[in-house]
Amino acid sequence: MTGLRTPMSRVRGLGAAKSGTGHFIAQRVSALALLVLLPLFAICLARSGAPDADAARAFFGSPGGAVLTLLTLTAVLYHMRLGAQVVIEDYLSGGLKTALLVVNTLLAAGLWLAAAWSLLILSL
């Protein structure tokens, strides 16, 4: 039985939404990145003597610490944005859905910019 799918849809391999596979893969890749980055970040931060304010500033101000922090925060915020997007798309509709998708993206971008700015200030 061939079902109700057209030959073109079978060739493209797209479902009803036309974009779910890419989103699924992006979420899994960001989760794998977090699987590596979060423990590495936690270990490096713990070994830096982070409860001490001067040691924490030194860690975040160092090139290695700043890059590791920015990579970790990038993966966390991207993964957060993808997860919230799924919830918004699944449970809301209309104008509220569109508005929350925009807010979701702007919130993730704003948090990333604030983190990048803070790391830049600590590095200089």
* Domains of the chain and CATH, by start: 21-123 (1.20.1300.10)
- Which whole number is the average pLDDT over 73-100? 95
CA distance 51 to 60: 13
Element (H, E) at 15: none
Q: Is 25 left (phi over 0), alpha (psi -120 to 50) or beta?
A: alpha
C-beta atoms surrounding 81 within 10 Å: 20
Q: Is 67 a residue whose pLDDT tops 90?
A: yes
Residue 120's pLDDT band, with cuts at 50, 70 and 90, is very high
Q: Is 40 a residue whose pLDDT tops 70?
A: yes
Q: Which residue in 35, 69, 34, 38 sits closest to 59, CA to CA?
A: 69
Q: Is 8 a residue whose pLDDT tops 80?
A: no
Lowest average pLDDT, out of 6-15, 22-31, 61-70, 90-99, goes to: 6-15
Question: Residue 58 in 3-state DSSP?
Answer: helix
